[in-house]
Amino acid sequence: MGRKLLLEKAHVPGIRSYDVYRREGGYRSVEKALKTMSPDQVTEEVKKSGLRGRGGAGFPAGMKWSFLAKPEGVPRYLVCNADESEPGTFKDRYLMEFIPHLLVEGLIVSSYALGSNKTFIYIRGEYAWIVDILEQAIAEAKNNGFLGKNILGTGFDLEIYVQRGAGAYICGEETALLESLEGKRGNPRIKPPFPAVKGLWDSPTVVNNVETIAAVVPIINITGEEYAKIGVGKSTGTKLISACGNINKPGVYEIDMTISVEEFIYSDEYCGGIAHGKKLKACIPGGSSVPILPANMLLKTAKGENRMMNYESLSDGGFATGTMMGSGGFIVLDEDQCVVRHTLTLARFYRHESCGQCSPCREGTGWMEKILKNIEYGKGKKSDIDLLWDIQRKIEGNTICPLGDAAAWPVAAAIRHFRDEFEWHVQYPNAAQNRNYGLAHY
């Protein structure tokens, strides 16, 4: 059984309430940080911990914090990205819903380190019921002296505001999120400047994912050095994985990044194997944007080693034979699933969610969906497969934000690893079409 740092108390009855959370040791990190450490010492602990951003990019959190510009007289902000929208990803939802005070606690310590007196949680509109849960937790923390003016008599002031998004995936991209928070249409900004220099209302801003902020609590409690000993290499600490698809036990699991992918899928502690005794066909281990891998490449790296559930091992081999940890949205496909159909579903999502600002993404996502639809419906030509490959190449790297890449990579990986399946659809159009009973809404 791996070590649990975030979800250990998530199922203690009543843990959503301040009283139970506090009784279970909650808010100790706030007392420790605010009363015995300077803001820079807190940042130093996060750096020592090796914590990497849990939203998907895996950028070192302490390094991001140390990039925060500190001009005299200019406010600084911490913004928590709770706009979790990556298909297959529902770990932040779980954390906020079951143990909301952990996020509030992490936000207080992180805001103190960064010098943010007004901190925002930007949460996806569809998580409406969680807004109530968070606001309740914030009110309780305030009533108990952990928020508001002069917290614990230390002179530090903090208010936390919850802002709901309106259902756009693009608003999870950090600069689109800031635009939306400012009340504008959520179009991504060109980076640099990074938010750490010019963010919310042009002020220096750190944008961190929910899980990243929550991880600050155990880091302060056990020290950065101890946290860095959990896990392996540059994959320190624990990681939440939301597992879904054709498995026996879908759910959110906290892993310490030393287990193999095979163990994660087949062990009863985690996914419990493939549902209905079927065989594993493929998996997208890090949310819909990361490349799909066929079973053989998923379980073993190109060097023949067991592939492990961590940043380095999942990306071993680059996109030729590897994939990415991403947001930890682990989507499993059994032997009956059609990769063309699956890729079409994703292409449809990215076409719908493209903000339309950059033409390669706006036009390209639409073309990819149309071509995939033709192939899946038995109207495709062999040359369509090369055309699809060509279009995704022209999107990748040619857009302001990573939505373009996120739309291109699944298509590229599907063709790279499952070209025969695309060719089968073209060669046997009737057989492919007859399977399409579930696509009436397209």
Binding site for ligand NAI (CB under 6 A): 53, 55-57, 59, 64, 67, 84-86, 89, 172-174, 194-196, 207, 287, 289, 326-327, 402
Q: Shortest Cβ distance from residue 79 to ligand NAI (Å)?
A: 10
From 284, 225, 292, 215, select the one nearest 254 (Cα to Cα): 215
Q: How far is the CB of 194 from ligand NAI (least distance, A)?
A: 4
* Shortest Å distance, C-beta 82 to ligand NAI: 9
Min separation Cβ 70 and ligand NAI, Å: 14
Buried b (16+ CB within 10 A) or exposed e, 185-217: ebbbbeeeebbbbbbbeebbbbbbbbbbbbbbb
Closer residue to ligand NAI in complex, CB, 7/37: 7
**Residue 289 CB, nearest distance to ligand NAI (Å)?**
5
- The nearest distance, CB 434 to ligand NAI, in angstroms, is 35
CB of 41 to ligand NAI, least distance (A): 21
3-state secondary structure of 173: coil
Residue placing its CB nearer to ligand NAI in the complex, 67 or 377: 67
Cβ-proximal residue to ligand NAI, closest one: 56
Within 8 A by CB and 6+ apart from 311, the residues are 52, 58, 234, 235, 257, 324, 325
Closest distance of CB 88 from ligand NAI, Å: 9
Nearer to ligand NAI, 165 or 172 (CB): 172
381-384, long-range: CB within 8 Å, 24+ apart, which pairs?
381/426, 382/423, 382/426, 384/426
| Nearest to ligand NAI of 100, 199 (CB atom) | 199
Asked whether the bond before 192 is cis by omega within 30 degrees of 0, the reply is: yes
45 or 83: CB nearest ligand NAI: 83
For residues 56 and 287, the answer to whether their CB atoms sit within 8 Å is yes
**Residue 7 DSSP one-character state:** S
Which long-range CB contacts under 8 A does 178-184 form with residues at least 24 apart? 178/79, 178/205, 178/207, 180/122, 181/79, 181/120, 181/122
Give the nearer residue to ligand NAI in terms of CB position, either 332 or 400. Answer: 400
Q: Point out which residues pair with 252 in neighbouring strands.
A: 242
What is the nearest approach in angstroms of ligand NAI to the Cβ of residue 201?
16
Report the residue number, 62 or 380, with the smaller CB distance to ligand NAI. Answer: 62
The answer to whether residues 207 and 79 touch, using CB atoms and an 8 Å cutoff, is yes
Maximum distance among all Cα pairs of the chain, rounded to whole angstroms = 74
Task: Say if residues 204 and 69 touch (Cβ distance below 8 Å).
Answer: yes
Residue for token digits 């928070």? 181
Helices assigned H by DSSP within 37-183:
39-49, 61-66, 91-98, 100-114, 128-143, 174-181
Which residue number, 120 or 156, has a Cβ lying nearer to ligand NAI?
Answer: 120
294 vs 402, beta carbon nearer ligand NAI: 402
Q: Which amino acid is at 127?
A: Y
